[in-house]
């Protein structure tokens, strides 16, 4: 297999960098959406259908490779890390950094909401206050850990207007549990498990090749997704909730452009290199509004950053389900303050500390569940605030979700990179043209699970 077999499209010599291609696609989609809004009528509706179809198809393609990539990569990771000592400490440090960055994010959200007071004098109609049908609970984490089937699939049936519709979704947290169990078992059986690990390594290489084909469509998918966002999201309602949207996006900007760079610098990570490699998945997360859909591209970015591939194969999928500084940090903190102000319910110091605790721990409690709404309802129910208050914010939720998801993915890469740097699992920049783990961990060089080189030399 050639060295370029699993290389993400970053642009050859003389061509645009991949992040620039995505930016151009987003700008093009923005232009198409604005023109369609101005044209109105049938042209607007027709354009929206086309853009939505293209965007949804691209997201479905990304999600289609999530399951095989996560399973094969984690099985290979377990096989490669079987001789690595202090694995428990590595996991503990990862969780510690998850908590540190989450605490910083929720503190920023609380501070901004207290200063700006977005709920005081808000004109959003009380009729919008509707109790959500999906809520979060503290036992959801334990429930989510136990696979309901070997494929990690869950199904939900909804009845509306006499018709029943069933939706099947993928629980990535359960897939991680299944893959760890299979990987551990394949190692524990010794020689009998080697043929399976060899097949798994081949499948991993195949799925990585498929992923590169899909990722090359990102500029087109980004254009369609951002164009659909311009046409479909609740921009008309934004004026009523403008101060709240400002509060959330100000918090997201402080974390993304202030806190994360500071933490990276304090831990000796090259900021220019990090931004160059991490920006494409952050852009993709902004338009897809899904950490899971972005997961394959996030894993590629982690390996291009020089993170040990065996560690990245575990940490990145785990972070995608539990590490959400946007959805589980800034947003629920600001939203809880907004709802309390809207209903004229005073909050004390103890309530603020409780919001901090819920936001830091709650991302694990809602792991495997979809959307910031679940995290918000968990926060509201813990504080005793009206759950109907969540309905006040639903009209602009897609607009907020774009920024929240971008920060989620950035935080997943930041924490994984910092832990890798502190544990000696981050290769120096000059050595990152080949399989990162071989530079950082000599004991992994001969691992059959990760024998295929990941990256070619720059410009080749």
Note the pLDDT of residue 435.
35
Mean pLDDT of 357-371: 63
Retrieve residue 301's tokens.
Answer: 């970015």
C-alpha distances in Å from residue 17, one per residue of 20, 26, 219, 280:
5, 14, 11, 10
Asked if residue 33 lies in contact with residue 227, where contact means CB atoms within 8 angstroms, the answer is yes
C-alpha distances in Å from residue 72, one per residue of 201, 273, 310, 450:
7, 28, 11, 11
Mean pLDDT of 316-327: 85
Separation between Cα atoms, residue 394 and residue 140, nearest integer Å: 23
Q: What is the DSSP letter of 445?
A: T
Q: What is the DSSP letter of 457?
A: P
* Coil/strand/helix, residue 379: helix
Separation between Cα atoms, residue 347 and residue 343, nearest integer Å: 11
Task: Look at the block and give the residue holding tokens 């503190």.
Answer: 107
Mean pLDDT of 119-147: 60
291-304 helix and 194-215 helix, angle to the nearest 10 degrees = 100
Asked if residue 80 lies in contact with residue 448, where contact means CB atoms within 8 angstroms, the answer is no
Burial class from Cβ neighbours inside 10 Å (0-12, 13-18, 19+) for residue 362 reads: buried
Four-CA torsion 55, 404, 214, 261, nearest 10 degrees? 140
User: What are the chain's domains?
Assistant: 18-450 (1.10.3860.10)
pTM for the model stands at: 0.75
C-alpha distances in Å from residue 369, one per residue of 134, 204, 384:
10, 26, 22
DSSP string over 94-105? HHHHHHHHHHHH
pLDDT tens, residue by residue, 155-188: 666 666 566 666 666 677 778 788 888 888 988 8
Mean pLDDT of 339-356: 87
- Per-residue pLDDT band for 114 (boundaries 50, 70, 90) equals very high
């Amino acid at each position: 297999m050639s060295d370029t077999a699993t290389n993400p499209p970053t642009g050859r010599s003389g061509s645009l960098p991949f992040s620039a291609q995505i930016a151009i696609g987003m700008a093009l989609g923005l232009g198409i959406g604005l023109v369609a809004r101005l044209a109105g009528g049938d042209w607007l509706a027709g354009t929206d259908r086309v853009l939505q179809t293209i965007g949804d198809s691209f997201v479905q393609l990304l999600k289609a490779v999530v399951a095989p990539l996560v399973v094969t990569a984690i099985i290979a990771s377990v096989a490669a890390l079987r001789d690595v000592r202090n694995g428990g400490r590595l996991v503990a440090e990862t969780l510690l950094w998850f908590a540190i960055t989450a605490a910083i994010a929720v503190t920023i959200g609380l501070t901004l909401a207290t200063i700006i007071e977005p709920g005081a004098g808000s004109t959003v109609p009380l009729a919008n206050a509707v109790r959500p049908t999906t809520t979060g609970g503290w036992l959801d984490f334990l429930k989510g850990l136990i696979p309901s089937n070997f494929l990690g699939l869950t199904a939900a049936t909804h009845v509306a207007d006499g018709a029943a519709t069933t939706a099947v979704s993928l629980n990535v947290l359960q897939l991680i549990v299944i893959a760890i169990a299979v990987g551990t078992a394949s190692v524990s059986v010794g020689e009998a498990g080697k043929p399976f690990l060899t097949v798994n390594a081949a499948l991993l290489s195949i799925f990585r090749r498929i992923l590169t084909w899909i990722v090359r469509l990102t500029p087109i998918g980004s254009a369609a997704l951002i164009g659909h966002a311009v046409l479909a999201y609740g921009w008309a309602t934004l004026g009523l909730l403008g101060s709240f949207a400002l509060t959330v996006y100000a918090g997201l900007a402080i974390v993304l452009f202030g806190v994360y760079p500071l933490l990276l610098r304090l831990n000796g990570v090259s900021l220019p290199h990090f931004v160059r490699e991490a920006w494409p998945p952050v852009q993709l997360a902004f338009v897809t509004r899904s950490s899971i859909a972005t997961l394959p591209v996030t894993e590629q970015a982690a390996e291009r950053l020089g993170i040990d591939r065996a560690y990245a194969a575990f940490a990145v999928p785990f972070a995608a389900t539990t590490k959400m500084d946007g959805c589980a940090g800034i947003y629920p903190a600001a939203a809880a303050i907004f709802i309390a102000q809207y209903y004229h319910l005073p909050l004390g110091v103890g309530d603020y500390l409780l919001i901090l605790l819920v936001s830091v721990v709650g991302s694990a409690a809602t792991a495997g569940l979809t959307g910031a709404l679940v995290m918000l309802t968990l926060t509201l129910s813990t504080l005793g605030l009206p759950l109907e208050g969540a309905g006040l914010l639903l009209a602009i939720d897609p607009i907020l979700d774009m920024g929240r998801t971008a920060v989620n993915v950035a935080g997943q890469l930041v924490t994984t990179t910092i832990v890798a740097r502190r544990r000696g699992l981050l290769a120096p920049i000059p050595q990152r043209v080949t399989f990162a783990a071989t530079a950082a961990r000599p004991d992994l060089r001969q691992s059959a699970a990760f024998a295929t080189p990941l990256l070619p030399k720059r410009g080749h």
